[in-house]
A and B are shown apart, each in its own frame.
Chain A
Amino acid sequence: MIDESVVAGTLSEALKTGGEFAEVFVEDRRSSSALLDDGKVEELSSGRTRGAGIRVVVGDTTGFAHTSDLSEAGLAKAARAAASAARGGGGGHQVVALDRVDAPAPQEVQVLPETVAKATKVELLGRADEAARAAGSAITQVSARYADGRRRILVANSDGLLAGDDQVRTRFAVSCVAVGDTGMQTGFESVGRPIGFELFDEYEVDALARTAANRALTKLAAQPAPSGSMPVVIGPGGGGVLFHEACGHGLEADLVAKQASVFRDRVGEQVAHPEVTLIDDGTMAREWGAYAIDDEGRPAQRNVLIENGVLTDYMWDLLRARKQGRESSGNGRRQSYQHLPMVRMTNTYLANGSEDPADIIAATDRGVYVAHLGGGQVNTATGDFVFGMSEAYLIENGEIGPPIREGNLIGNGPEVLTGIEVLGNDFAMGSPGTCGKDGQGVPVGDGTPTLRVASMTIGGTAA
């Protein structure tokens, strides 16, 4: 992607005014997408961006500059700009010797999407449209999107690290509108993996489209969501996002260091039910948040955050880890070369429990069953969170009852952890997601088994 001697020279340039640490991050990204909406293939779009971000650290100050000019001169200019932002006392000549170490890819890509004919990608859209419309005459609108991306990165720093990764991701999503007597409802389903076009050997877009259509159709019969506090059962794979938001973010070392986390100073404490084990794992080969190396060149790893209910560790990026004299946990990520890395999750999940999920529902007299949560957000300092329920049902007398209309679910992260009463033995990963911390989007995965929380507040309109 770029010559090794140029990278070394850029690092030397960055350290000339006394920086303690310098890093060059080079990225070359290609993307393509195709959108079908309203029965027509509206558009194929292709994108290409490449550039480098350079940071220089002096004390607690980071200087950062980025450029789309990858020539030796362009990189040197950016290096000087980053260095001037973080000016140190010393200076002088420093030679950086780079040692290339590449981590193995989580999974070999079999069919690079860029080698697949555009017509083949477009054909998937038509099939999805047809399958969704065939699911019921109440389906009045369908939109389907195919997207692939290839992101090649190279990271080098003044510690001598040199590493690269070639990240391929492929995704397909279907969204439907159904119209009935009660108005319009929507249904959505998506699949995405860090693999190539072989994704479609595993997933039939027709089935995906039917799932989206059925979600919309089901909701036509939905009644208003209840309001107030009640037990909530979360279905397998449908609620991992809750633990990503409500617990995961509070375990990011940058937020902990700034006292913006309710989990500060709680390592070693029992924070959840003894059966609760929360893991962040960037090595899960087939999951959306996986990679070989993070955006600071550190190999992805499996990090146990909560083990048997006890808080074991936070997640770390390079700078936070250096300050503590420890190793990064492979969680330093950034949206693109135009952004500074920070602590980010990968694939975050609650490990499997032991209960039969049917028994969990049967033992719930009245409550809400959430099959699928939508987006949400958390205030990491207080732990308060809010989530949309995109597919949910009432539980009445130990049975899953009628669907309920969309509404929010609110609660508090630490309270939910202690409020988990029982975990099922039916663990599943959820849909591919994008985490948007501090305005930077990165791909993440999540998962849970069926579980019941003693009480959460449902924000519906019914009494």
Chain B
Amino acid sequence: MNPEELLEIAERIVGWGRDGEQIEAVVGHSQETDVRVYEGEIESLSVAESQGVGVRVIANGRQGFAHAGTLDTDVLEETLAEARDNAVFGSPDEFFGLAEPDGVAPPELDLYHEALLEVSTEAKIDMALELERAVQAGDPRIVGVESADYGDAVGADAIATTTGIRSSGRDTSCYLTAYSLASENDETQTGFGFSVGREPGTLDVAEAAADAVERATRMLGATQPPSERVTVVLDPFVSAQFLGIIGGTLSGEAVLKGRSLFADRLGDQVAAAGVTLVDDPTNPEAFTASDSDGEGLATRRNQLIGAGQLERFLHNSYTGRRSGSASTGSAVRGYASTPGVGCQALSLVPGDRTPDELIAGIDNGVLVQGVSGLHSGVNPVSGDFSTGAEGLRIRNGELAEPVREITIASTLQRMLLDVAAVGSDLTWLPMSSAGVTLVVAEVTMSGA
């Protein structure tokens, strides 16, 4: 289904509104292909089409919501009726209200690549097979490829409201990903590699394979070091995950509900002077770039931390109104939920030194190349974090032996202030934040 057809459905629902009611309809549709190969054969090939609708009703200052996984007319009517009924039981809140057009023009982004539709299933299978072969051939210590996948999606969505929002769009995306197993001297390690793009022609099999090989083999022979306080260098893949969590603490919703460690800190120096943090979904380099947010408002560039100073929180319409400001175009959601607030394409402004130059300046440290259990180990309310980690020791400015079974721990507050340098290697990743090499002083590393 194209965006125009979806918008027509959304408008039809909105047209059923009664006096005194605000109605928002979000309609989505996607088509996906997923191929998984194993040992030279197709393990599974899935072709799928899915759609859904979410309806939000605000009446008498109360809000209700319902969603459904089909777009038949009777289902649309039932979903609206259910949302309307749900609204009766909510608490009244003077700040409830849908987004209203605010005059900001959406950015022009090239998110839909027709070329993806012209690629045959056979060609997609061949890419997955080629990836598997490339990983297998990449190093004699690679003993298996647990999975090699190709996947793509063509998505379209539309939002209409009784307050005058009309927004629709579509995009294409595709990816290759491989999970590898390396073995040496009775020890096994795993790795992964990926490549993402908007059409298969831009996917890089060699890069995905090389990453999968490197990640699996570099940890062979790793040992658990003793506990120590060290300088930690986060590689881009790791720093992006931390940024995502920090971004969550800057949501207006967390701030308003007393769940942000940065509430009441606007204008304060919350990070080292080298830290400038920006959420910019209008940046075409970001895989998560988008021209409109989850309430149909144009996305925009929001600088959250400038030279270490906390400048802004992110808002959707509700949190913007309630905090006496306005939406920053940061509503995030799927059709099955009401809009939350979140980062869409977060990045640090890069510094001017390369990762090699940064490492050369460190006497005793660890280059962290992988973290595990980050989400379970971070309390975004208190800021305490502790995460499983692995990587390479840094000694006298050079990378040394691999280490595993360590944890690194600090608080998010402390870590931001302890950022000693930001690298020049900004890397966009398939998540809502970009990575960059980050040097953090004085972190507790726990080991044996």
Interface residues of A (CB under 8 A from B): 34, 37-51, 59-69, 81-82, 85-86, 118-119, 122, 140-141, 143, 177, 179, 183-186, 225, 227-229, 258-260, 262, 338, 340, 374-377, 379, 381-382, 384-388, 405-408, 410-412, 457-461, 463
B42 to chain A, nearest CB (A): 5
Known: A34-B89, A386-B376. A406 touches B382 (CB 8 A): yes
Interface members, chain B 145-182 (any A CB < 8 Å) = 146-147, 179, 181
Contact B65–A374 (Cβ < 8 Å): no
Chain B, 371-408, contact with A by CB distance < 8 Å: what is the 0/1 string?
01101110101111011100000000000000011111
With both beta carbons as reference points, the residue of chain A lying nearest to B41 in the complex is identified as A60
Contact B69–A48 (Cβ < 8 Å): yes
A34 partner residues in chain B, CB cutoff 8 A: 89
Contact B409–A229 (Cβ < 8 Å): no
Contact B44–A61 (Cβ < 8 Å): yes
A183 to chain B, nearest CB (A): 6
**CA–CA, A34 and B119, complex, Å:** 44
Contact A42–B41 (Cβ < 8 Å): no
**CA–CA, A228 and B405, complex, Å:** 11
Q: Which of B63, B189, B336, B377 contacts A407 (CB 8 A)?
A: B377
**CA–CA, A369 and B51, complex, Å:** 48
Interface members, chain B 432-447 (any A CB < 8 Å) = 444, 446-447
Contact A405–B144 (Cβ < 8 Å): no
Q: Which of B89, B227, B257 contacts A44 (CB 8 A)?
A: B89
Contact B47–A85 (Cβ < 8 Å): yes
Chain B, 17-56, contact with A by CB distance < 8 Å: what is the 0/1 string?
0000000000000000000001001111111111110000
**CA–CA, A48 and B82, complex, Å:** 10
A411 partner residues in chain B, CB cutoff 8 A: 405
A296 to chain B, nearest CB (A): 15
Contact B78–A118 (Cβ < 8 Å): no
With both beta carbons as reference points, the residue of chain A lying nearest to B226 in the complex is identified as A228
B254 to chain A, nearest CB (A): 10
A118 partner residues in chain B, CB cutoff 8 A: 85-86, 88-89
A375 to chain B, nearest CB (A): 4
- Ordered by A's residue number, 20 sampled pairs between the chains whose C-beta atoms are within 8 Å are A39-B91, A46-B82, A60-B38, A62-B44, A85-B46, A141-B257, A184-B258, A225-B409, A228-B227, A375-B376, A377-B372, A381-B181, A385-B373, A407-B409, A408-B407, A457-B446, A459-B409, A460-B409, A461-B386, A461-B410
B408 to chain A, nearest CB (A): 7
Chain B, 128-148, contact with A by CB distance < 8 Å: what is the 0/1 string?
000000000000000110110
Known: A45-B338, A47-B336. A382 touches B45 (CB 8 A): no
Contact A47–B44 (Cβ < 8 Å): no
Q: Does B206 contact A (CB under 8 A)?
A: no
B68 partner residues in chain A, CB cutoff 8 A: 47-49
Interface residues of B (CB under 8 A from A): 38, 41-52, 63-70, 75, 78-79, 82-83, 85-91, 93, 121, 143-144, 146-147, 179, 181, 188-190, 224, 226-227, 256-259, 261, 336-338, 372-373, 375-377, 379, 381-384, 386-388, 404-410, 444, 446-448
**CA–CA, A260 and B147, complex, Å:** 10
Contact A388–B90 (Cβ < 8 Å): no
Contact B388–A410 (Cβ < 8 Å): yes
User: 10 additional contacts, CB 8 Å, given A46-B86, A185-B381, A186-B379?
Assistant: A86-B42, A86-B45, A227-B444, A228-B226, A258-B147, A260-B179, A340-B46, A407-B407, A408-B377, A408-B387
Contact A228–B446 (Cβ < 8 Å): yes
Contact B86–A45 (Cβ < 8 Å): yes
**CA–CA, A453 and B82, complex, Å:** 51
A382 partner residues in chain B, CB cutoff 8 A: 188-190
**CA–CA, A460 and B386, complex, Å:** 7
Q: Which of B44, B373, B388 contacts A63 (CB 8 A)?
A: B44
**CA–CA, A179 and B226, complex, Å:** 35
Residue from B51, B83, B93, B405 whose CB has the most chain A CB atoms within 10 Å: B405
B321 to chain A, nearest CB (A): 15
B67 partner residues in chain A, CB cutoff 8 A: 45-48
Contact A259–B181 (Cβ < 8 Å): yes
**CA–CA, A250 and B383, complex, Å:** 32
Contact A141–B258 (Cβ < 8 Å): yes
A285 to chain B, nearest CB (A): 29
A323 to chain B, nearest CB (A): 12
A381 partner residues in chain B, CB cutoff 8 A: 146, 181, 188-190
A65 partner residues in chain B, CB cutoff 8 A: 46-48
Residue from A39, A62, A68, A186 whose CB has the most chain B CB atoms within 10 Å: A68
Would you list the 5 A-B pairs with minimal beta carbon distance, nearest first?
A: A459-B407, A49-B69, A386-B373, A386-B388, A388-B376
B66 partner residues in chain A, CB cutoff 8 A: 45-48
Q: Which of A47, A259, A410 contacts B407 (CB 8 A)?
A: A410
Contact B69–A406 (Cβ < 8 Å): no
Contact A258–B144 (Cβ < 8 Å): yes
Contact B79–A259 (Cβ < 8 Å): no
Contact A185–B382 (Cβ < 8 Å): yes
Contact B45–A64 (Cβ < 8 Å): yes
Contact A44–B86 (Cβ < 8 Å): yes
A343 to chain B, nearest CB (A): 14
